[in-house]
Amino acid sequence: MPYPSLARYKTEAQYRAHFERVYCSRAIVTFDGIPVRFKKKDFDHAFYESTLSKDDAFSRKRAQRIDWIKAALEDPKSERYLGWDNKRKRYDRRRRVALVMGDYVCDRHKFQR
C-alpha cells in the first residue's frame, strides 16, 4: 500500500487544524474493523518531541507524516505489535503499535473490539 506524500504546511496551527479535521471529527476504522478515536490533545503527543523537557518542541518532521497515521491504521500489511501500558508496566492487548515505511511508528491507545 503506497503511503501518502508528506503534508507541507507553513505553520503548526495548519497541521493542528488538519489533525482535528481528519482525526478528531470521526473515528478512523482500522483494516480489521476497529474504530479508533482521537482527541485534540493527541496532537501534542504525536507531533511534539522532547528537547529540554518532555514533549516541549513541535516536530515538523513528524507532522509532515500526519496522513501516515490513518494510512497505517487502514493498512492490513503494516507490522503490528502489542502496545505498552506505561502506568501498569506491561503490554496491553487493547493497545497496538504499527511500524510502517521502514521505521515510522504509529501507535494508538485503547481501541476496543
Res 106: pLDDT: 55
Res 110: pLDDT: 44
Res 112: pLDDT: 42
0.85 surpassed by pTM: no
Hey, is 91 helix, strand or coil?
Answer: strand
Res 64: pLDDT: 95
**Residues 20, 27: Cα–Cα separation, whole Å:** 11
Res 113: pLDDT: 39
Which of 110, 112, 101, 91 has its CA nearest to residue 69? 101
Mean pLDDT by groups of 10 residues along the chain of 113 residues:
88 98 95 91 90 82 93 86 88 81 53 41
Which of 40, 41, 64, 45 has its CA nearest to residue 55? 45
Res 104: pLDDT: 54
Sorted by where each begins, the domain ranges of the chain are 12-108
Res 84: pLDDT: 85
